[in-house]
Amino acid sequence: MGRGERYSRVFSASRCSCATAQVLVVGCGNSELSEQMYDVGMCEDIVNIDISDAVIRQMRERSASTRPRMSYLLMDMLHMDFPDTHFQVVLDKGTLDALLTNEEEATLAKVDQMFAEISRVLQVGGRYLCVSLAQAHVLKKAVEYFSQEGWVVRVHQVASSGDKEQFVLPVFVYVMTKFRKIPGSAAQILEICPEEQDKPMRVESTERLVAAVKDRQHYALLCSQISKAPCREQVSLDLCDRESGKPRYTLHVVDSTSVKPSRDNHFAIFIIPQGRETEWLFGTEEGRRQLAASAGFGRLLTVALHREQRYEGMAGIQAELSAKVMELAPPGLPARQQVPFLSVGGDIGVRAVRHCDRSPLSGEFVVEDVKGDGTCYFRRLIFLQNRNVVQSEARLLAPTPLPGQKKRRKDKKKLSPTEQPGAIDKSYLCCEHHKAMVAGLCLLGGPDALPGELAVLVVGLGGGSLPLFVHDYFSQARVAVVEIDPSMLEVATRWFGFSQGERMQVHVCDGLDYVAKLAAEAPAQYDAIMFDVDSKDLTVGMSCPPPAFVEKPFLQKVKTILKPEGIFVLNLVCRDARLKESVLATLRDVFPLLYARRIRGEVNEILFCQPGPAGRCGPAELGARARALEGALRQPGRPWDSSYALADVLQSVLIL
């Protein structure tokens, strides 16, 4: 596609009909644009001006015999000789970019004069078309000037030629439509029209328009870079919905150097099923790297779907993404190569949002049901400020058919937002760190005994799965739960099957204050204390618990309310290596005996802390205690997940 055709598409999209219009080209130079527009029949009545006498002579000679209606005049665009409202279109290809090289006062004064002259010679309803690379200061100056004059401003991205060897920065056309300025009116109409869209998007400010253009420039540079060489690091980007501007797809480009290239394994697209984007395989760099290697493609593009968006199945997604993903193709992809779209089970998964709300403490959150790997469905609590982390999760029981109602075939089972889901399976712990925290309770009893009456304190309710399991399976346990956010108690009760009773009480208060008060009034009263509380401060490299919960004075209070033979279990999620080592050092200062259990594929590390060294267990004894505890918990008539082996959970525990 030639330049004339590409600009022609922009002029057509901007409803700028040049065929019968008189067009002025300012600062024409020796550009071929006027000639191309004339030759393809876009317009013939074209007046070109430039300040260079040599350029005007050269261009007159080039077009004199073949383009009789096109003229070239020696004229300064800052002081034009044309009468007012003489032209219907003013065209500028790179002239503004060449003039506005800095933001010095003298330069800005020249630009203002240029704009004023263009405004003077242009008819009301006419258009000023400015072809530009859209540097931020150039775009901002043009948009602010003309929008303040009451003009409608639209920025079009010109379609690329498809030649990856050409200049990589995208070209834009500012389309400024002149309207009569209405005194006292402050309304601005600002729009952007990316190259693949015919329908423009309205933006509310100059800053947002400049930012949208900058996003397109960054995207073009990224596409150019990854089309020429493999990615050393995974590249992530969002594709946004054209109507709302909100993210619709999150893409990760993963190159696998271990895959031997062949004609058919250069490139593939993997659609992550809805609701499974937080799983290790799809939600971490290491997991995606493993996925790419196992898929056997040199470049794998993973695509995550957003809960706020609606999708029309795999075929609809493929139709929507086919052109866009080819912009991210690897170097060496054969021409017309068929690029496969992959997924788990060949579909896009199932996600049904059950509840959306906002908490003053936790921010916006959602409760959603998703289909897992297989036929099981799970309910999840997600805080939207950290949407890639599942805060709480529970497995759903299959709905029981009513008498006379036929049971649906498994392969037809799909949950819809309006369908009544099954009840919560309280016997199943979805989170691996919860399984480890429960398994650590074997340190309370001997190798042959289930702990008897237990007093357990859980700080952090979430969906309530952890305290519910302890309550139901340790039949003599009395569980106190501390939760700072009253909204979470409502969520746990309404959506996760949580309930209070004689042996289960929730205290809505700050865990720091609750522990401090107990330490002062009633020491040594808990057999087990469990911390599973998230931090709301995402700037700290530790997302669980909040830093104040692992400071030495507070940990000493925790030790005070713990019985001498008790256990303190902490879910630690820390990505900062120095901070983590500092936390471990503080824990060792307070608790003489410390065990650690890493959760495979997650950042979580479960720490088991005891106030005295006397109960130290080696790996063999720890395994024996875990098996004894599991045997005691497996009671006739009580459901137990066969995959939950306590000894296996504690197999890789380290003594720190």
pTM of the model as a whole: 0.74
pLDDT at residue 1, as a whole number: 45
CA distance 59 to 13: 29
For residues 89 and 7, the answer to whether their CB atoms sit within 8 Å is no
The pLDDT assigned to 587 comes to: 95
pLDDT band at 180 (very low <50, low <70, confident <90, very high): confident
Quick check: 449 pLDDT over 80?
no
Q: Which of 58-72, 105-119, 161-175, 333-347 shows the lowest per-residue confidence on average (mean pLDDT)?
A: 161-175
Question: Does 497 score more than 80 pLDDT?
Answer: yes
Backbone torsion region of residue 210, taken as left when φ is above 0, otherwise alpha when ψ lies between -120 and 50, otherwise beta = alpha
Say if residue 281's pLDDT is above 80. yes
Q: Say if residue 197's pLDDT is above 70.
A: no
Residue range 528-546: average pLDDT?
88
The confidence score (pLDDT) of residue 628 equals: 80
Q: What is the mean pLDDT of residues 267-280?
A: 90
**Rounded Cα–Cα distance for residues 530 and 608 (Å):** 9
On the question of pLDDT at 374 being above 50, the answer is yes
**Whether the predicted pLDDT of 360 surpasses 90:** yes
pLDDT band at 228 (very low <50, low <70, confident <90, very high): confident
| The pLDDT value given to residue 6 | 55
Q: Average pLDDT for residues 298-326, to the nearest whole number?
A: 91
What's the chain's average pLDDT? 86
Average pLDDT over residues 233-253: 88
pLDDT number for residue 103: 94
What is residue 53's predicted lDDT score, i.e. its pLDDT?
Answer: 95
pLDDT score at 620 = 79
Q: Using a pLDDT cut of 90, give the percent of the chain over it.
A: 49
One-letter amino acid of 616: R
In the predicted structure, residue 268 carries a pLDDT above the cut 90: yes
Q: What is the pLDDT of residue 584?
A: 94
For the cut 50, the answer to whether the pLDDT of residue 402 exceeds it is no
- Calculate mean pLDDT across residues 62-90: 93
Is the predicted pLDDT of residue 15 greater than 70, yes or no? no
pLDDT tens per residue across span 415-433: 555 555 679 998 888 888 8
pLDDT digits (tens, 9 = 90+) for 599-608: 777 778 999 9
Give the single-character DSSP code of 334.
P
The percentage of the chain sitting over the pLDDT mark of 70, rounded to a whole number, equals 87
Rounded average pLDDT over 628-647: 72
* CA dist., res. 5 & res. 538, Å (int): 49
The pLDDT assigned to 410 comes to 45
State residue 461's pLDDT score: 94
Mean pLDDT of 154-159: 89
Task: Report the pLDDT averaged over residues 554-570.
Answer: 94
Angle between helices 136-148 and 105-121 (to 10 degrees): 50
More confident residue, 93 or 323: 93
**Mean pLDDT score, 152-165:** 78
User: Which has the higher per-residue pLDDT, 552 or 336?
Assistant: 552
The arithmetic mean of pLDDT across residues 303-310, rounded, is: 91
Q: Has residue 82 got a pLDDT over 80?
A: yes
Q: How confident is the model at residue 332 (pLDDT cuts 50, 70, 90)?
A: confident
One-letter-per-residue 3-state SS of 402-441: CCCCCCCCHHHCCCCCCCCCCCECCCCCCCHHHHHHHHHH
Residue 17, pLDDT > 80, answer: no
Residue closest to 478 by CA, chosen among 509, 451, 445, 518: 451
Nearby residues of 528 by Cβ (< 8 Å), 6 or more positions away: 441, 444, 454, 455, 456, 457, 566, 567, 568, 569
Would the pLDDT of 624 be above 50?
yes
Burial class (CB in 10 A: 0-12, 13-18, 19+), 536: middle
Overall average pLDDT of the 22-33 stretch: 93
How high is the pLDDT of residue 644?
67
Distance CA 287, CA 281 (A): 4
**Distance between CA atoms of 640 and 630, rounded to whole angstroms?**
10
DSSP letter for each residue of 538-604:
TTSSEEES-GGGGSHHHHHHHHHHEEEEEEEEEEEEE--HHHHHHHHHHHHHH-SEEEEEEPTTSSE
Please check whether residue 190 is in contact with residue 153, taking contact to mean a CB–CB distance below 8 angstroms: yes
Give the pLDDT of residue 412.
43
Is residue 463 pLDDT above 80, yes or no?
yes
pLDDT-derived band at 516 (thresholds 50, 70, 90) equals very high
Give the pLDDT band of residue 158 (cuts 50, 70, 90). Answer: confident
The predicted pLDDT at position 467 comes to 96
DSSP 3-state of 255: strand
Q: How confident is the model at residue 405 (pLDDT cuts 50, 70, 90)?
A: very low
Q: What number is the average pLDDT over the span 650-654?
A: 66
Q: Please, which pLDDT band fits residue 540 given cuts at 50, 70 and 90?
A: confident
